[in-house]
Structure 1
Amino acid sequence: MAAPMENTPKILILTGEASGDLYGAQIASAMREVDPTLAFYGVGGIHMRASAVNLLADVSELGVVGFTEVLGKLGRIRTLFSRLRRFLSTDRPALVILIDYPGFNLRFARVAKESGIPVLYYISPKIWAWGAGRIRTIKETVNKMAVIFPFEVPLYEKAGVDVTYVGHPLLDIVKADGSVPEIRQRLGLAPDRGTVALLPGSRQGEVDRLLAPMLGAADILRQRLPDLQFLLPLADTLSEDLLRNRMKQSTVPIHLVRRDTYSAVAASDAAIVASGTATLETALLGIPMVIVYKVSPLTYPLARLVIRIDHIGLPNIIAGRTVVPELIQGDASPERIAETILPLLTDNQRRTAMTDAFAEVRRKLGTGGAARNTARIACAMALEKGVRS
């Protein structure tokens, strides 16, 4: 990649998760369409790298779930924070774009603000679920919020934060490539056998806690429905060798799928999904699912103290009711997972009720075009900074 010219406007994009890497890549590509002279730097993964973003660190080094789990990567996180602080001083980007990952990004927003660099926050922290006090920090440190849920707008407006609803990025991204028989044939699966997708998350900690009970559930399901086949789409942030070694503990063959996640999920009859963005992606593909969630025994009681909503799964939060079963902590056992997903494989009425609810979720998300709309805002902010400088 050629080095940018000295006077080229620089944009710094920061995320700490696999989904944010995808969104960051979209933003960089959309901004470059508006202004091809921009140079991009950031923390991301393979998608941002493919969109010509000069990576200062990889998201695979950062992604953790839970309060106590952060401690294991605290040294690495502090080192990166110092490196990015130096980047602000030496390279003076025209704009900082923060994507989700609030524990890190909100601290960095304050540093950017103190350095006189404008901050655009895309994919809001979930202040409606927990951490409502963060809205005060956002008001003090963030110049503009670009939010992806319509219901987030009045929350920020009430607090006096400059906010715009830009649409939801997944509405433009989540698509399958081909019909179910075509996809199964392409993936080397039997086209006429029932298929279950296992999605244990994109972070190593999630896989450590969730893969074993998912594999256990697969063993139980295969005993009940011997014709079932199982697939596991591999997140870009995870090691294929590590996953293959873990899957050896299962007596059931698991077909590992690399870089064809949406098609793989769309070709499934049901899915077992770790709580997170993947639950909404699965809902948009119309695939019945069970949501599972586990954190460390120390983290869970702390989380219960601060979370202010009744659900953890995005489809349920958006619908405002339970449309997908949620199995949390001890309930996310092989037996309970198998017991809960079995009706979604055998009862057409249950399947139809859930897919109908997913159509409601899609309607509530509003419109697409999030990357394009956010790119216009970002380019305007960067240009304004350049004029003022």
Structure 2
Amino acid sequence: DEVDIVLPLPPSIPREDLDRILKDDPPVKVQLGRQLDVLGTAQLAVCDCGAPSLEAAYAGVPLIAVYNSPLFCVEKLWRRPGFMSLPNVLAGRQVVPEYCLGEMGSGRLAGEIESLLDDETRRQAMAADLGSVIESLGPPGALTRMAGAILELAGRGRT
């Protein structure tokens, strides 16, 4: 099966810079606009473990959370229960897989992507769990409460 890779382009990144970076990679469709528009058409997202992972959860899209900072990789070892992605932190358990790219490499990440794309049951279960995470944030106004939850977690530091 063919996979379409779609990348939402935030206004802060000049298109020329992105074109230079992507020139030798597989075909990537760059879509100008809001990330939620792109997520609304996705079967699976690969995103940063911070706010983008929560945006994917809000859109109901199964995801793989990644972080590339060596500091995050070290911090994950010290953090209890050890979660870095916001959906997992808010759930208090692993809802989505999360990986440090430095330990994983692109080949293993591609394998995890393929595995999830081939397993609709797993994606549906993940989407349901993500829905529960978003539901736990409460009724309308959840974005404000989400920001409060993030600030509260940030204020706690390591536990």
Q: Shorter-chain TM-score category?
A: 0.7 to 0.9
1:272 maps to which of 46, 54, 58: 46
Q: TM-score, normalised by structure 2?
A: 0.80
- Counterpart selection for 2:9 from 221, 234, 245: 234
Alignment: residue pair count = 145
**Aligned-residue offset at 1:271:** 1.1
**For residues 22 and 80 of structure 2, what CA distance do their matches in structure 1 show?**
36
Find 1:249's aligned residue among 14, 17, 24: 24
Residue in structure 2 matched with residue 363 of structure 1 by the alignment: 135
Q: Could you list the per-position Cα deviations for residues 51-76 of structure 1 after superposition, in whole angstroms to 9, with x for gaps in the alignment?
A: xxxxxxxxxxxxxxxxxxxxxxxxxx
Report the Cα distance in structure 1 between the residues aligned to 2:57 and 2:143, rounded to whole angstroms.
21
Q: What is the percentage of aligned positions where both structures have the same residue?
A: 30
Deviation at 1:237, TM superposition (A): 2.1
Aligned CA distance change for structure 1 residues 273 and 301 (closer, same or farther; 3 Å): closer
2:109 is the alignment partner of 1:337: yes
> Quick one: which amino acid aligns to residue 255 of structure 1?
K
Asked if 2 retains the 8 angstrom alpha-carbon contact of 1:230 and 1:254, the reply is yes
* 1:333 partner SS: helix
> SS of the residue aligned with 2:123?
helix
- Give ranges in structure 2 of 5+ residues lacking alignment: 146-159
8 Å Cα contact 1:269/1:345 also seen in 2: yes
* Counterpart Cα distance in 2 of 1:236 and 1:310: 33
**Structure 1 pair 367/275, CA: closer, same or farther in 2 (3 Å)?**
same
Are the aligned partners of 1:272 and 1:291 in contact in 2 as well (CA < 8 Å)?
A: yes
Alpha carbons 1:343, 1:350 under 8 Å: kept: no
Preserved CA contact (<8 Å) 1:290 1:325: yes
Q: Compute the RMSD of aligned alpha carbons.
A: 2.3
Give the C-alpha shift of residue 329 in structure 1. 4.0
Alignment of 1:348 with 2:120, yes or no, is yes
Is 1:261–2:35 an aligned residue pair?
yes
Cα gap change, 1:239/1:306 in structure 2, threshold over 3 Å: closer, same or farther? Answer: farther
Which residue identity lines up with residue 4 of structure 2 in the other structure? Q
Q: Quick check: 1:327 aligned with 2:99? A: yes
Question: Which protein has the larger Cα radius of gyration, Structure 1 or Structure 2?
Answer: 1
Conservation of the 8 A alpha-carbon contact between 2:58 and 2:134? yes
**Structure 1 residue 304: Cα displacement:** 5.0
State the SS of the aligned residue for 1:317: helix
